[in-house]
Structure 1
Amino acid sequence: MASPFHTCYCYHYFQPCTLNNPLFTTNNNKNPNTISIQRGYNKLPHVLATLSSSATNSSHQKTTTNYLDFYDIYDRATRFRINGLVHRITSLSSNNNKTEILKILEKENVDFRNKTISDFNHLLMALIIAQEHDLCLKLFTNLQSFQQLVPDCTTYSIMVRCYCKKNDLDEAKKALDTILVKGYKPNDATVTVLVNSLCKRGKIKKAMEVFEVVGSKGVKVYNCLLKGLCYVGKVEEALECLMSMKEKKLKNQFLEPDVYSYTAVMDGLCKVGRSDEAMGLLNEAVEMGLVLNVVTFNTLIQGYSREGRPMECVAVLKLMKKHGCVANYVNYSTVLHGLLKWNKVKGALGIYKEMVGLGFEVDVRMMGTLVRRLCKKGLIHDAEEVFEKMLEKGLMVDQRTFEVIVQVLCGRKKIDEALGKLNYMVTLGYFPSVIMFDKVIQCLCAQGRVEEGVSTLLLLHANGRVANRITYDVLIKEFNAQGRLVFASILFSFALKQGVVPNRESLLCKVPFV
């Protein structure tokens, strides 16, 4: 004969959960606060993994008529469901909203009256990871409904994180104080979260209070404080803090500054124009045997760039290679930007070529700036190469760069290329300046290509622009030089209609002008 417990109770708990019961139940139905979860928050995100068939079969096999066996199975099954719930919450995508989360919990019946605080903590942490901070706070508030569940250090630590996420730092501080009052010792991760949140919001004084109150301080807590001090410009205090860490290491107090400690202080020094001192800290970190990373070196690069010392940035790149640290795109881009900003054109060209050789995609704006600077320095061939590279990659070249290239091509008597670039600008929707058109027209006339000059003039007018007097004079003189006096006269009349009065001496023909 089948066991009544098996048929009536165990079967109920090992079936796929489609129950309509609330997530939490209490015996105190007179207090509306204790049933708020049942009414509004029993629909959390899809998080309880459905019990697998293998788990179901295994549990059935272990079920006996013994009361203790039954409760043991009941306990393990519920814990399994909670773990599944945690997994499903944490696996939610960022697009899931609170409504979807609530629908998931509605499908599950997890009764915490017979569970431990550890089970409750698992769920709270899952909600934090799922970024459902309001819901986490609501569940924590209703914890008093379950008399057998007493919040422990982990519970309050989770709430410190929750309040920090909600930017309620006063409540986070109270939660930490509760941990200390109850005689618990908060772990470094909890202290780090609170100190980091306070520092990010510039509340360094409160961060220092937390720092001093907590007994054991890990390196991560120190690093947060270092970053916070530098953030508000208290670089000297950050340096003192770093020295304090080194002293504790020497005294065998197991607090050794790491590469992030040095990077934080170096960044603070660089931002106040003390990059040389930051370099000194870098050398000190090397002597300590720390493995430097790209962020550490990029801090120096940015510092030297701000101080107008771009060639020092190039030296930092070489230093990276010396220490076996592979420079990334950000490092090279920062160096290139600094070189262009301070007009170190040849150095910028070298870094650009190095980036291309490494397969990095150079920013189109910096490429355009490089083209213009190369043209001004007379490095025309290099400028043309960079420009052609931009066109090959299909990059959107800015109008200023186009115009500079057109002028360069005209100056080098490459009129066909100049004319092509000018027409290409128009097809892209740019409105080249009148000076650009004048330059091309004059170059065409200089080569006797007056018809193309007139076509370019009409293109200028089609774009709503009017050529200046010099351009008309050049065209009219060229027509006269070719003996095409009628065309010269017509062009003269056309100029008058446009409101431009060419030089009458340029009209050598005796055909009366209109």
Structure 2
Amino acid sequence: MPFPILTCLQPCTPPNSLPFTNFPTKFNNYCSISIRPSNTTLSPLSATNPSHETTNHTSPVKQTPTTNDFDIEHPTTRSRIKGLVHKITILSSSNTKTEILQILEKDPQFQTISDFNHLLMASIIAREFEICLGVFTKFPCFHLVPDSSTYSIMIRCHCEKNDIDEAKRAFDTTLENGFQPDDATFTVLINSLCRRGRVKKAKEVFEVMGRKGYKFNVQTQNCLLKGLSYVGKVEEAIEMLMGMKGKSLEPDVYSYTAVMDGLCKVGRSDEAMELLNDAVGVGIVPNVVTFNTLIQGYSREGRPMKGVGVLRLMKEYGCVPDCVSYSTVIHGLLKWNVVVVALGVYKEMVRVGFEVDVRVMGTLVRRLCKKSWKERGLLDEACEVFEKMKERGCSVIDQRTFEVMVKALCWGKKFDEALESLNDMVRLGYFPEEVTFDKVIQGLCALGRVDDAVSSLVLLHANGGIADRISYDVLIEKLNAEGRLFCACNLFCAALKQGVVPTSQEETFAKCYDEEEGTAS
């Protein structure tokens, strides 16, 4: 169903009760759209009606100047668009797209091409792309010809809508009508194409504008560098980067980082390090993203200690590692089982005030537990990390981490902690493996804590689990040794009911029979 014809629009001023705390960021991201007109002179209708006819319209066509009068940086323009964003947002909460346009029609002051451009831009910022497209398709009905700003806004609309083919067509139409996009709009299109792997198309656009004498900015070239690296065309990216050196637009830290990322992703992290040294040699100061790229590359290649070296290198260059830096180093070390070093980096991360991701902590706990079977001193370290996790709530701990921790605690004869963790698991709704209960039961029996062992067995049964024969044998043997023959006999019967046949059946029944005979006499 076509959108209704829009005839008028009045900007509104947002009340103080509805703050726009994130508006400046959105505004700056979407609204740098000034356009340079080309030398080509167009007739007023050439953009929409090549025959210059005004069919179905009796009023004259409103002339659109070739100069750009849509200054997005002007305070009045910014204020008006801000008001329109507010109005569209409010209307969208309780109206359909058609109803929104019908409501906006009632304002008598919406008449000029500038008014429409304000509305188009506000619709994009409010992410109401259908309203933007609906208004644009009705331009001929208003006897208005899209100007350079209009086309630029529509390129952005299609990019934000993830419709890159339409964005490319809007770009081609802009050129056909003699307009030339500015740096910001051109960069948006190149970036959108590259982000979706359409690097070949991005290069075509880049080359077309180059032939037209367009002066690229470094941000546009960086988008293309990133796109080439993203699809694995690293050699082309390096060639382009080297070609930028010594030109009017020197590569910046983002240029080098984009190519380094491409090299790291194809297993050439050492070459990326050489590129970093080259950048430093020409006076470029690497940032935290540059170093994180190297850390990730070394981690992928199975050289996590190189990542630790990069962490130290950051400090030498005066670049403060962020949470991603530490987390990536720890993840790489744990992935390649360099557990003790990972523990040291974790402690440093906590010491400088970063909150470690619980998944990283869980992996660290599991690796420490497994390592503690050979190096018992690491169990205390695992317990310390585990307690830090529990401080955030037991619910953040996954079942696998609980189970490994319980087994390690049993191995280290910390049965009170093991029993506590087992109860925490059940309380959280986890269903521990039978082997986890078996470790606790057998460990408690070894310490002579038979009643606690029986309680653990009951807990296992309550959760639908079945202990193995060894656990029943150990429990029955301990009960017999303590003279609790009826308890042992009952436990034996419970085992049989569960389908488990203890090996100590004859001795258990004989003792029970002897005790009954003695009682009877």
Deviation at 1:274, TM superposition (A): 0.8
> 353-362 vs 259-268, which deviates more?
353-362
Query: CA-to-partner distance for each residue in 1:336-369, whole Å, 9 max, x for gaps?
Result: 1111111110111011111211222212222122
CA contact (8 A) 1:48 1:84 kept: no
> 407-416 vs 364-373, which deviates more?
407-416
Deviation at 1:495, TM superposition (A): 2.6
Deviation at 1:160, TM superposition (A): 2.4
**Which residue of the other structure, out of 129, 154, 160, is the alignment partner of 1:159?**
154
CA contact (8 A) 2:12 2:87 kept: no
Distance 1:219 1:80 in 2: 28
CA contact (8 A) 1:390 1:397 kept: yes
CA contact (8 A) 1:332 1:355 kept: yes
Higher relative contact order (CA 8 A, sep 6+): 2
The aligned residue for residue 120 of structure 2 is 124
Matched, 1:462 2:426: no
The aligned residue for residue 393 of structure 2 is 394
The aligned residue for residue 67 of structure 1 is none
> 324-333 vs 127-136, which deviates more?
127-136
Matched, 1:188 2:208: no
Deviation at 1:277, TM superposition (A): 0.9
The aligned residue for residue 444 of structure 2 is 444
**2:512 alignment partner, SS class:** coil
Amino acid at match of 1:385: E
Amino acid at match of 1:326: V
Distance 2:489 2:174 in 1: 97
> 454-463 vs 156-165, which deviates more?
156-165
Query: CA-to-partner distance for each residue in 1:154-176, whole Å, 9 max, x for gaps?
Result: 33322322333344444433443
Distance 1:276 1:96 in 2: 55
The aligned residue for residue 217 of structure 1 is 216
CA contact (8 A) 2:437 2:460 kept: yes
The aligned residue for residue 379 of structure 2 is 380
Deviation at 1:95, TM superposition (A): 7.5
Deviation at 1:451, TM superposition (A): 2.6
CA contact (8 A) 2:264 2:298 kept: yes
After superposing on structure 2, the runs of 4+ consecutive aligned residues of structure 1 that deviate more than 6 Å are 79-83
Deviation at 1:151, TM superposition (A): 4.0
Deviation at 1:499, TM superposition (A): 2.4
Q: How does 1:132-281 map to 2 (within 5 A)?
A: 132-145=128-141, 150-214=145-209, 215=213, 216-247=215-246, 249=247, 254-281=248-275
Deviation at 1:319, TM superposition (A): 1.5
**Which residue of the other structure, out of 311, 314, 318, is the alignment partner of 2:312?**
318
Deviation at 1:466, TM superposition (A): 2.0
Amino acid at match of 1:425: M
Distance 2:76 2:182 in 1: 28
CA contact (8 A) 1:43 1:106 kept: yes
Query: CA-to-partner distance for each residue in 1:123-179, whole Å, 9 max, x for gaps?
Result: 4333333333333334344434555x5544333322322333344444433443444
Matched, 1:293 2:257: no
**1:377 alignment partner, SS class:** helix
Deviation at 1:182, TM superposition (A): 4.8
CA contact (8 A) 2:8 2:108 kept: no
The aligned residue for residue 405 of structure 1 is 405
The aligned residue for residue 13 of structure 1 is none
Name the TM-score, length of structure 2 as normaliser: 0.76
Deviation at 1:103, TM superposition (A): 6.3
How many residues are treated as equivalent by the alignment? 442
Distance 1:127 1:449, change over 3 A: closer
Distance 1:406 1:81 in 2: 66
Amino acid at match of 1:507: T
Distance 1:313 1:497, change over 3 A: same
Deviation at 1:84, TM superposition (A): 5.5
Distance 1:232 1:166 in 2: 22
> 276-285 vs 85-94, which deviates more?
85-94
Distance 1:218 1:266 in 2: 20
**Which residues of structure 2 form unaligned runs of 5+?**
16-73, 373-377, 517-521
Aligned-pair Cα RMSD in Å: 3.1
CA contact (8 A) 2:257 2:289 kept: yes
**Which residues of structure 1 form unaligned runs of 5+?**
1-35, 52-78
Query: CA-to-partner distance for each residue in 1:95-141, whole Å, 9 max, x for gaps?
Result: 762468536634421253xx5x5454344333333333333334344
Deviation at 1:460, TM superposition (A): 1.9
Deviation at 1:273, TM superposition (A): 0.7
Amino acid at match of 2:122: A
Amino acid at match of 2:190: V
Distance 1:337 1:93 in 2: 45
Which structure's CA Rg is the greater one? Answer: 1
Deviation at 1:181, TM superposition (A): 4.4
Amino acid at match of 1:204: V
**1:355 alignment partner, SS class:** helix
The aligned residue for residue 55 of structure 1 is none
Distance 1:501 1:460 in 2: 17
CA contact (8 A) 2:287 2:319 kept: yes
CA contact (8 A) 1:47 1:105 kept: no
> 271-280 vs 89-98, which deviates more?
89-98
CA contact (8 A) 2:7 2:110 kept: no
Name the TM-score, length of structure 1 as normaliser: 0.77
CA contact (8 A) 2:8 2:110 kept: no
